[in-house]
Amino acid sequence: MEEKVKESGDWTARVNRNTLRLGYCTGAWLVTTALATFGPQFIWHDNTLLTASAIFINLAIGLATILANKHHLQSLDEMQQKIQLEAMALSLGVGFVCGLSYSLLDQSNLMAADAEISHLILLMGLTYLAGTVIGNRRYG
């Protein structure tokens, strides 16, 4: 019995550690995205070398974030993995279908505004959040 409690505690500690690592990586990626986006305009005034460096650093931290997400998902139990997989599948599907339609509307000039990737990212993020909430209600 005591061994099961220790295993459960080890699993919980591992999930917490991986969640924290994912949070740090996501935060760092967010900061480097803002730096690569706004740095050329407000900090280093269109210096190409600094802009390219900021984008490269953002890409490297983005890859680290992907790996942290993979480790986080692997540390979850089967039910949590299922919930995450379904939420990610829903987000990817909505992103592809709506993103393509959004782009086609822009290309054919059927909408006044330009299609912006930030709108698609927001839609996918909200879809992922909704999918996670629905999955937790359904299976939890």
pLDDT digits (tens, 9 = 90+) for 43-96: 999 899 999 999 999 999 999 999 999 999 999 999 999 999 999 999 999 999
Same-domain check for residues 90 and 29: no
Q: Are 83 and 134 in contact (CB under 8 A)?
A: no
Give the separation between CA 56 and CA 63, rounded to whole angstroms: 11
Same-domain check for residues 35 and 60: yes
pLDDT category of residue 31 using cuts at 50, 70 and 90: very high
Question: What is the rounded average pLDDT for all residues in the chain?
Answer: 93
Single-letter amino acid code for the residue at 30: L
Single-letter amino acid code for the residue at 83: I
Same-domain check for residues 46 and 83: no
Same-domain check for residues 20 and 81: no
**Domains: count for the chain:** 2
Same-domain check for residues 72 and 99: no
pLDDT of residue 131: 98
Angle between helices 48-75 and 2-42 (to 10 degrees): 160
Same-domain check for residues 108 and 82: yes
Domain extent, residue 81, equals: 77-140
The CB density around residue 108, as the number of other CB atoms within 10 Å, is: 8
Same-domain check for residues 126 and 94: yes
